[in-house]
Structure 1
Amino acid sequence: MYKLLLSLLLVILTLADPGPAFAEPEISSAATTEASVEAGSVPRPNYKRYKGRKKHRKPGFFRRWAARRKAKRKMKAAPRKGVITVDPPTRNK
């Protein structure tokens, strides 16, 4: 249903005559804008693209898998620690 409506809308837009829709620019306003542009040009700032909060994003499947393999390797390589046994606590008499 949506594809049919979209295709009809596209057909209507392609058959519409765009000539009357565009307004002709006025000569006086064009002269004032050219004068203002030449008078003082302000440089536009360069904005960096936002890449999201990487700290709080969950790593992908392969990175988690690699981290798990690395942790297992570290556990196997580390020497085993012995168990320390302690006598049970005694009460003061």
Structure 2
Amino acid sequence: MYKQLLVLLLAFLILLEPASAVAEPIISAATTEASVEARPIPRPNYKRYKGRKKHRKPGFFKRWKARRNAKRKLQAKPAPRKGVITVDPPTRN
């Protein structure tokens, strides 16, 4: 039922003349074009402030890359040598 109503509504909208519904006098269009062309467009002469980049937290991928590199460095570095303690074997009395 709703589809049929929708099709009828669309057919009715197509049959309407869009030129008469949106008609404007030609004189007013010419005056607005002239006034728009006469006005200069203001242009900003400054750059937008984007904040201080040094103190910003890096994005997900940069943090991920840094973590990977840190893990790689730890694995590549040999473990610090531990002191070897030698003990004589136990003796029986």
TM-score range, shorter chain: 0.3 to 0.5
TM-score by length of 2: 0.39
Higher helix proportion = 2
TM-score by length of 1: 0.39
Point out the structure with max Rg over C-alpha.
Answer: 2
